Amino acid sequence: MFLRIPDWLRYEIQERWERLAVREWINKNPRLIIGITCASVFVSLLVVIAQLAPEETVKTREYKKAWFYDLNTGELFVARSEQIPPISAPSGPLPNGEPAGVRAYVFSFSNEPNESNRFIGFLEIPDPQAKKDRAAPAEPGAGGAQRWGRGRLIRRVEDKQWVPANSNQGWAILREIFLPNRTGQHARYSPPE
User: In 3D, which of 97, 98, 115 has the Cα closest to residue 106?
Assistant: 115
Q: Which string of DSSP letters, residue by residue, matches the chain? A: -PPPPPHHHHHHHHHHHHHHTHHHHHHH-HHHHHHHHHHHHHHHHHHHHHHHSPPPPPPPPPPSEEEEEETTT--EEEEETTPPSSB--TT---TTSS--EEEEEEEESSSS--GGGEEEEEEEEE-GGGHHHHHSPPPTT--HHHHHHTTEEEE-TT--S-EETTSHHHHHHHHHHTS--TTSPPPEE----
| Residue of 132 and 53 predicted with greater confidence | 53
In this prediction the pTM is 0.63
Q: Are strands 163-164 and 101-108 parallel, antiparallel or unpaired?
A: unpaired
104 CB burial (10 A radius; 0-12, 13-18, 19+): buried
CA distance 27 to 101: 81
Ordered by start, the domain boundaries in the chain are 7-52, 65-189
Residue 122: per-residue pLDDT? 94
**What is the pLDDT confidence band of residue 134, given thresholds at 50, 70 and 90?**
very low
| Chain length of the chain | 193
Residue 178: per-residue pLDDT? 86
| Residue of 29 and 141 predicted with greater confidence | 29
- pLDDT tens digits, one per residue of 147-190: 677 889 999 999 999 999 888 999 999 999 888 888 888 889 88
- pLDDT tens digits, one per residue of 29-50: 888 888 889 999 999 999 998 8
